[in-house]
């Protein structure tokens, strides 16, 4: 990347958050990672990563690498701090970017806790960018009518999570 590209990347105007920040309860985070069968071989991407708890938990519990994509800079800073405190900052990174623009091709697991409209808007990106065998796990909502029904759905204390595998 040339210097002008680096400067442009640093000054990229990000959109306002498309969903409010509502952290997933730790019980849901744990269940999402279990449902996706995360292992140390995985790269877990969290789209709209908030305070970073999904990539951090994946690193702590499974030794997985994690990447959080978050549009709010203050939450990226909080995530980086949380990863340091959890001593997994060597396994996780957090990127201040628009989740629709971010490169998610390395992901083997994608975690999503967004509003239904945003989930549906992500479908073309998920189809285009994810490799066969990648898993998608959502909290709250499925991916809408343009996506097949989930392979598995689980109730975690009244909160629903869903799983798909890219074929």
Q: Is residue 47 part of a domain?
A: yes
Query: Under a CB-based contact definition with an 8 Å cutoff, are residues 111 and 32 in contact?
Result: yes
> What CATH number should be reported for the domain holding residue 113?
3.40.50.150
Q: Is residue 1 part of a domain?
A: no
Residue 5 in any domain: the answer is: no
The answer to whether residue 3 is domain-embedded is no
Residue 59 lies in a domain: yes
The fraction of the chain above a pLDDT of 90, given in percent, is: 86
Q: What is the total count of domains within the chain?
A: 1
Structure confidence at residue 136 as a pLDDT band (50, 70, 90): very high
Strand pairing category for 92-96 and 135-139 = unpaired
Report yes or no on 156 lying in a domain: yes
Band (pLDDT 50/70/90 cuts) for residue 1 is very low
User: pTM score, two decimals?
Assistant: 0.89
pLDDT tens digits for 72-117?
999 999 999 999 999 999 999 999 999 999 999 999 999 999 999 9
pLDDT classification of 22: cutoffs 50, 70, 90: confident
Domain span including residue 35? 21-165
**What is the C-alpha separation between 126 and 137, in angstroms, rounded?**
12
- Asked if the structure places residue 13 within a domain, the reply is no
Examine the pLDDT at 11 and tell me if it is beyond 90: no
Does residue 12 fall inside a structural domain? no
């Amino acid at each position: 990347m040339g210097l002008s590209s680096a400067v442009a990347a640093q000054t990229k105007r990000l959109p306002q958050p498309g969903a409010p920040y509502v952290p997933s309860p730790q019980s849901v985070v744990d269940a999402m990672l279990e449902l996706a069968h995360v292992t140390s071989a995985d790269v877990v991407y969290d789209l709209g990563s908030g305070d970073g708890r999904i990539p951090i938990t994946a690193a702590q519990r499974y030794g997985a690498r994690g990447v959080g994509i978050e549009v709010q800079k203050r939450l990226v800073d909080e995530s980086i701090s949380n990863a340091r405190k959890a001593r997994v900052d060597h396994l996780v990174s957090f990127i201040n970017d628009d989740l629709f623009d971010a490169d998610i091709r390395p992901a083997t697991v994608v975690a999503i806790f967004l509003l239904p409209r945003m989930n549906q808007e992500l479908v073309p990106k998920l189809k285009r960018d994810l490799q066969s065998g990648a898993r998608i796990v959502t909290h709250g909502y499925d991916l809408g009518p343009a996506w097949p029904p989930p392979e598995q759905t689980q109730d975690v204390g009244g909160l629903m999570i869903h799983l798909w595998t890219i074929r």
